[in-house]
């Protein structure tokens, strides 16, 4: 992508409404724009990151055997009357009347709708286990939306729903998602700690929040330090291996970790003082096993091997992509801007032409652009006539992992400079060597 | 994907609420489920097709220089008061009050919001041309939603918005989208005819609808038969070539084509009788140039090369992916089910194991599944214990382009059968030859 043909509205000033660094950087880099309170557009730079986050989430959901569908945003109130949540859900639910005066709502979550889908089609235990997910907009009318897309009203959620014949099978399904989440956050460059959590309005009796540590987090969390070094389940994980996933789950729940709601002072005090971690955290995922709460209320049962009807045992599993993007920034930035993990960077490489219009600089930049494009890199080529200092600042601000700096002096000797955004390390190389180095490290 | 692990709720009976073939087939194949009147879930089979349609739309928008972002579904009424459309828009607009009693709406289209984004950031003609698009849900509260996702209330739309300094530049932007649309529909396996159209509530004075011919179409259309043979602009089209795109546009608008609203009896009568085409059509795209209608009302101007402020000249360009899927089915099916064009098929190949549990059939099926998976094919492997007849019927119904039939008799001699869904042609081949043939033809 040539910057002259992209839409990257960088703000020169720090927006004063931004209270936390991710919100400030997302506004400054032109990733998002607030359209109404707690309602955002994702501008092209932000959209690219969001797409990469969604792609990783999808890959890990699919690997764990979940199947993607797409439910609508608007739901009928009648569905929620069946589960009893229509009246129970507070003002966070956006209630709507359509032109026929029917009660509708903008879905804050989809347990009811997926249960309706399940009961309409699935009749036998032979069709289980089943896990269906979608990545879809939700709306929760928070009194005080804040921190940009970290806590917005309209937001994207990946929500998966598992159905099993009994508790034992359902707990295996729960551990599949538990394992998939560990892999997902790791691939996003985050170290997330699963913590026993309160189940809240979803209900049920087994639940974990996945929390990343950040000073700006909304939750207080308490855990053992060992989490930082636990191994992440490998790409070859067999999700059908009941004992294998049990071992992953046991390991990751073997030491103390809790949010303030579930905190047990005595258990925490029992940890050697040097191993205690007390910090603030951001919730980036939440999983629930809630048994037959919805299936019993809504008549979602299947015939078991015993010939009798059994209410399906269900779980639900949420990740918020529009919250993950700022969470990644909170975890990875410096005073000059964002430092994207490679896996979600909006571009792989920035090519900075220090003197656009100069024949040698243009030729070298075009050569790099063509060769790296052919090698499959996503590039942002700064071909504008801004001054070099502004280009450097923009490249650091938007945090693309590798920069190639094409300046008149080095180009005269056939060389360019590669800068690593994270370490700041710079290296001067011939153009061909620069191409080879980037290809080799990708 | 193993069918035993997929969610494919095939209906045995023809659903009686379906009035047209695409609606019937989408329900029967478990592609969609109605959740409320005119509001649908896309079940896994449907979601796969929708994703492929969206991918082609994106590729062609990007090729033409449009840049993707993502605007939210909910909008502030104040924005629509600026353009004057809040009161003008009828009951199709879903009006909502949030918990703070603010007037909101579920966007039926995004001219106002994109104009707000534009005016916030773009100040100079040097940043033009600019074309921003998104693929996002819209809601139009139709009195009589019908035909499944062909005319639903919540639907997906790709809407692009172009901004230029003057009419001449804006018309080139219009022709870029005109050309991109020809390529898009062609890649989707459709022959769409651009027809001069009424601009309706969007406004403006230059507009084309893209119509595909289908007996179940809602519009009556009149055109010259030559359209059927016009060349589609190539993948190498240079979208900066003003004269080149003008030539494409001139060619495709050189002979008569109009919907009933714009129909000119005399002009149609002037076509030699054998060349007249009078048929029903489905609108699958609509493009508009509307000049400064929104930019003037909303103060979206840029500084021109003359140092003065100029209201941006705008166009908007819509395609409905959730309508395209049934449109493709209307254009491509037979009495046994859907016949997907390769480009949007939910899977490339169906592997039909006629006798799951039979050692030789299982081994041959697994070999095919592994080898074709490695070659990058998307497969649906029917490993269920249904009887062979039901498996054949399902494979035909869901319309995957190639079927590989693995039966005990042929496998005994090391062979399988390949069936082409479209032509019905069958061929018996060794397993390796079958793999090679599919790889060669992909």
pLDDT digits (tens, 9 = 90+) for A23-80: 999 999 999 999 999 999 999 999 999 999 999 999 999 999 999 999 999 999 999 9
Helix orientation angle between A321-331 and A21-28, rounded to the nearest 10 degrees: 100
How high is the pLDDT of residue A201? 65
For testing contact with chain B, the best of A70, A80, A120, A158 (most B CBs within 10 A): A70
Greatest alpha-carbon span in chain A: 81
In percent, how much of chain B has pLDDT > 90? 91
* pLDDT score at B210: 96
Chain B neighbors of A106, CB-CB under 8 A = 74, 96
Q: Does A74 touch chain B (CB under 8 A)?
A: yes
* Predicted local distance difference test score (pLDDT) of residue B341: 97
Q: Which of B44, B48, B54, B98 best probes binding to A when mutated, by most A CB atoms within 10 angstroms? A: B98
Closest CA to B316 of B235, B240, B208: B208
Instruction: Identify whether B129 is preceded by a cis peptide bond (ω within 30 of 0).
Output: yes
Q: Please report the pLDDT score of residue B262 as a whole number.
A: 87
Q: Which residues are CB-contacts of A189 (< 8 A; sequence separation ≥ 6)?
A: A328, A331, A332, A341, A343, A344
Indicate whether B124 pLDDT > 70.
yes
* pLDDT for residue A215: 83
Bridge partners for A310 per DSSP: A302
Question: Do B122 and B302 contact (CB within 8 A), yes or no?
Answer: yes
CB contact under 8 A, A35 and B75: yes
Which of A41, A43, A162 is the best substitution to test chain B (most B C-beta atoms within 10 A)? A41
Cβ pair A377, A442 in contact under 8 A: yes
Residues in chain A within 8 Å Cβ distance of B5:
65, 67
Q: Of B258, B230, B211, B238, whose CA–CA distance to B64 is shortest? A: B238
Question: What's the token pair of residue B289?
Answer: 């140039």
- Which of A221-230, B16-25, B395-404 has the highest mean predicted lDDT (pLDDT)? B395-404
Q: Indicate the angle between helix axes A167-187 and A44-63, nearest 10 degrees.
A: 140
Distance of alpha carbon A218 from alpha carbon A195, whole angstroms = 15
SS3 A59: helix
Nearest residue in chain B measured CA to CA from A63: B1
- pLDDT for res B307: 97
Residue B349, classified by CB atoms within 10 Å of its CB into exposed (0-12), middle (13-18) or buried (19+), is: buried
Q: Is the dihedral of CA B64, B69, B75, B78 positive or negative?
A: negative
Query: Is the CB of B132 inside 8 Å of chain A's CB atoms?
Result: yes
User: Scanning every residue of chain B, which has its alpha carbon at the shortest distance from the alpha carbon of A78?
Assistant: B36
Mean pLDDT over B91-108 rounds to 97
**Can you read off the two tokens belonging to residue A107?**
């879905």
Least confident of A261-270, B397-406, B428-437: A261-270
Coil/strand/helix, residue A239 = coil
Mean pLDDT score of chain A, rounded to an integer? 95
Instruction: Please compute the mean of the pLDDT values over residues B102-126 and round it to a whole number.
Output: 98
Return the SS3 of A419: strand
Cβ distance of B69 and A42 shorter than 8 Å = yes
Mutate to test the interface with B, among A1, A2, A7, A137 (most CBs of B within 10 A): A7
Q: What is the rounded distance in angstroms from the CA atom of residue A118 to the CA atom of residue A125?
A: 12
Residue A30: its chain B contacts at CB < 8 A?
A: 121
Nearest-Cα distance to chain B for A71, in Å, is: 4
Cβ-defined contact of A35 to B71 (cutoff 8 Å): yes
pLDDT band at B227 (very low <50, low <70, confident <90, very high): confident
Q: What is the mean pLDDT of residues A208-231?
A: 90
Q: Which residues of B touch A41 (CB under 8 A)?
A: 69-72, 113, 117
> By the CB < 8 Å criterion, does A229 face chain B?
no
pTM for the whole structure? 0.97
Beta bridge partners of B207: B288
pLDDT of residue B4: 97
Query: Which residues on B lie below 8 Å from A33 (Cβ)?
Result: 117, 120
Average pLDDT over residues B385-412: 97
d(CA A284, CA A135): 15
Q: Does residue A5 belong to the interface with chain B, where contact is any CB pair within 8 Å? A: yes
3-state secondary structure at position A380: strand
Decide: B194 and B176 in contact? Cβ < 8 Å: no
Is residue B332 reached through a cis peptide bond, with omega within 30 degrees of 0 on the bond before it?
A: no
Does B98 lie at the interface with A, CB-CB under 8 angstroms? yes
A116 touching chain B per CB within 8 A? yes
For residue B202, pLDDT over 80 is answered with no
What is the rounded CA–CA span in Å between residue A62 and residue A68? 8
Comparing CA positions, the residue from A390, A311, A309, A318 lying closest to residue A353 is A390
- Whether A74 sits inside 8 A of B39 (CB atoms) is yes
pLDDT of A142 over the 90 cut: yes
Mean per-residue pLDDT, B20-38:
97
Reduce the DSSP state of residue A416 to 3 states and report it. Answer: strand
The C-alpha atoms of residue A293 and residue B321 are separated, in whole angstroms, by 36
Contact A83/A203 with Cβ under 8 angstroms?
no
Closest-CA residue of chain B to A10: B121
Q: What is the pLDDT of residues B267-294, one digit of tens each?
A: 999 999 999 999 999 999 999 999 999 9
State whether A76 and B121 contact (CB < 8 Å).
no
Residues A175-211 pLDDT 10s: 999 999 999 999 999 999 999 887 666 666 789 999 9
CB neighbourhood size of A267 (10 A):
11
Q: Which run of H or E residues covers position A53?
A: helix A44-63
Q: For residues B90 and B200, give the distance between their C-alpha atoms in angstroms, rounded to a whole number.
A: 13
| Helix pair A359-374, A431-441: axis angle to 10 deg | 30
CB–CB contact A99 B91 (8 Å): yes
Cβ within 8 Å, pair A36-B76:
yes
Write out chain B residues lying below 8 Å of A91, CB-based.
99
Q: List the 158-217 stretch of B: residues with Cβ below 8 A of A.
A: none
Q: State the pLDDT confidence band at A259, using cuts at 50, 70 and 90.
A: confident
Q: Say yes or no: B30 contacts chain A, CB-CB below 8 A.
A: yes
- Rounded to whole angstroms, how far apart are CA atoms A95 and A86? 10
Which of the residue ranges A227-231, A331-335, B90-94, B115-119 would you say has the lowest mean pLDDT?
Answer: A227-231
Mean pLDDT (whole number) for B347-352: 98
A67 to B6: CB separation less than 8 angstroms, yes or no: yes
Task: Tell me, yes or no, if A10 comes closer than 8 A to chain B by beta carbon.
Answer: no
Residue of B nearest to A149 (CA): B72
Q: Please give the full DSSP string across A294-361, using - where no structure is assigned.
A: HHHHHT-EEE-TTSSEEEPEEEEEEE-HHHHHHHHHHHSEETTEE---GGG-S-SEEEEETTTT-HHH
Look at the block and give the residue holding tokens 């992440």.
A232
Kindly report the backbone phi and psi dihedral angles of residue B340, in degrees, each rounded to the nearest multiple of 5, phi listed first: -75, 135
pLDDT at B15 over 80: yes
Dihedrals φ, ψ of B97, to 5°?
Answer: -115, 135
- Is the distance from CB of B29 to CB of B6 less than 8 angstroms? no
Query: What ipTM describes this predicted complex?
Result: 0.96
* B384 interfacial to chain A (CB closer than 8 Å): no
DSSP A255-302: S-EEEGGG--HHHHHTS-GGGEEEEEEEEEEEEEEEETHHHHHHT-EE
pLDDT of residue B441: 86
Helix (H, G, I), strand (E, B) or coil at A54: helix
Dihedral pair phi/psi, residue B352, rounded to 5° = -105, 105
Contact flag A139-B39 (C-beta cutoff 8 Å): no
Query: B116 — contact with chain A (CB < 8 Å)?
Result: yes
B35 touches chain A (CB under 8 A): yes
Residues of chain B contacting residue A40, judged by C-beta atoms under 8 Å apart: 72
Distance CA B100, CA B112 (A): 22
CB spacing of B50 vs A70 below 8 angstroms: yes
Q: Do B139 and A41 touch (CB under 8 A)?
A: no
* Bigger pLDDT: A13 vs A105: A105
Residue B392 pLDDT level (bands cut at 50, 70, 90): very high
Q: How far is residue B125's CA from residue B408's CA, in Å, rounded to a whole number?
A: 70
Rounded CA-CA distance A114/A311 in Å is: 14
Task: Point out the residue among B7, B37, B132 whose CB comes nearest to the CB of A67.
Answer: B7
What pLDDT is recorded for position B201?
65
CB contact under 8 A, A68 and B47: yes
Q: What is the distance between the alpha carbons of residues A353 and A357, in angstroms, rounded to a whole number?
A: 9
**Are B281 and B182 contacting, i.e. CB atoms less than 8 angstroms apart?**
no
What is the interface size between A and B, counted as CB pairs within 8 Å? 140
Neighboring chain B residues of A71 at a CB cutoff of 8 Å:
35, 41-42
**Closest Cβ–Cβ partner in B9, B36, B79 for A121:** B9
Closest CB to A72 among B6, B122, B154: B154
Instruction: Say whether A44 and B72 touch across the interface (CB within 8 A).
Output: no
CA-based nearest residue to B64, from B180, B159, B153, B161: B180
Residues composing chain B: 442
Q: Does B12 touch chain A (CB under 8 A)?
A: no
By C-alpha distance, the chain B residue nearest A70 is B42
Give the per-residue pLDDT at A14: 87
- Mean pLDDT (chain B) is 95
Asked whether the beta carbons of B222 and B268 are under 8 A apart, the reply is yes
Annotate chain B with three-state secondary structure.
CEHHHCCCCCCCCCCCCCCCHHHHHHHHCCCEEEEECCEEEECHHHHHHHHHHHHHHHHHHHHCCCEECECCCEEEHHHHHHHCHHHHCCCCCEEEECCCCCEEEECCCCHHHHHHHHHHHCCEHHHCCEEEEEEEEEECCCCCCECHHHECCEEEEEEEEEEECCHHHHHHHHHHHHHHHHHHHHHCCCCEEEEECCCHHHCCCEEEEEEEECCCCCEEEEEEHHHHHCCCCCCCCCCCCHHHHHHHHHHHCCCCEEEHHHCCHHHHHCCCHHHEEEEEEEEEEEEEEEECHHHHHHCCEEECCCCCEEECEEEEEEECHHHHHHHHHHHCEECCEECCCHHHCCCCEEEEECCCCCHHHHHHHHHHHHHHHHCCCCEEEECCCCCHHHHHHHHHHHCCCEEEEECHHHHHCCEEEEEECCCCCEEEEEHHHHHHHHHHHC
Q: Is A57 on the interface with B (CB under 8 A)?
A: no
Q: Which residues pair with A104 in a beta bridge?
A: A76, A96
Other C-beta atoms closer than 10 Å to the C-beta of B333 total 18
Least confident of A202-216, A306-320, A373-387, A421-435: A202-216
Distance CA A405, CA A427 (A): 10
What is the structure's pLDDT at B228?
83
Cβ within 8 Å, pair A113-B35:
yes
CB-CB: which of A9, A37, A104 is closest to B121?
A9
Report the candidate in B281, B297, B288 with the shortest Cα–Cα distance to residue B319.
B288
């Amino acid at each position: 992508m040539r910057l002259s043909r992209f839409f990257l509205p960088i703000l020169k000033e720090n927006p004063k409404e931004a209270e936390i660094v991710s919100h400030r950087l997302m506004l400054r880099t032109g990733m998002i724009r607030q359209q109404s309170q707690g309602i955002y557009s994702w501008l092209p730079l932000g959209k690219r990151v969001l797409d990469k986050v969604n792609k990783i989430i999808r890959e890990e959901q699919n690997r764990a055997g979940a199947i993607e569908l797409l439910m609508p945003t608007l739901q009928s109130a009648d569905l929620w009357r069946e589960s009893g949540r229509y009246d129970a859900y507070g003002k966070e639910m956006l209630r709507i009347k359509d032109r026929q005066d029917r009660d509708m709502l903008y879905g804050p979550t989809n347990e009811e709708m997926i249960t309706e889908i399940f009961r309409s089609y699935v009749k036998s235990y032979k069709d289980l286990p089943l896990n269906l997910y979608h990545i879809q907009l939700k709306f929760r009318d928070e009194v005080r939306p804040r921190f940009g897309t970290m806590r917005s009203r309209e937001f994207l959620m990946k929500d998966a729903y598992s159905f099993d014949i009994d508790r034992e099978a359902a707990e295996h399904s729960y551990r599949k998602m538990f394992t998939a989440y560990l892999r997902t956050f790791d691939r996003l460059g985050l170290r997330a700690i699963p913590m026993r959590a309160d189940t809240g309005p979803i209900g049920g009796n087994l639940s974990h929040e996945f929390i990343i540590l950040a000073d700006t987090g909304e939750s207080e969390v308490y855990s053992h330090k060992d989490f930082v070094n636990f191994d992440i389940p490998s790409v070859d994980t067999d999700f059908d291996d009941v004992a294998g996933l049990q071992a992953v789950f046991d390991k990751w729940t073997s030491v103390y970790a809790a949010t303030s709601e579930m905190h047990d002072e005595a258990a925490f005090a029992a940890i050697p003082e040097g191993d205690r971690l007390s910090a603030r955290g951001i919730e980036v995922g939440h999983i629930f096993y809630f048994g037959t709460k919805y299936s019993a209320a809504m008549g979602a049962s299947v015939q078991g091997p015993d010939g009798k009807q059994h209410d399906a045992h269900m779980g639900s599993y949420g990740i918020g992509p529009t919250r993950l993007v700022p969470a990644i920034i909170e975890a990875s930035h410096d005073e000059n801007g964002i430092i994207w993990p490679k896996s979600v960077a909006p571009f792989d490489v920035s090519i900075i032409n220090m003197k656009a219009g100069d024949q040698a600089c243009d030729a070298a930049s075009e050569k790099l652009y063509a060769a790296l494009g052919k090698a499959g890199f996503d590039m942002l080529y700064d071909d504008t006539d801004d001054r070099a200092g502004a280009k450097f600042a923009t490249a650091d601000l938007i945090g693309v992992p590798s920069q190639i700096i094409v300046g008149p002096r080095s180009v005269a000797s056939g060389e360019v400079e590669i800068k690593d955004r994270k370490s700041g390390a710079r290296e001067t190389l011939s153009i061909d060597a620069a191409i080879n180095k980037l290809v080799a490290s990708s």
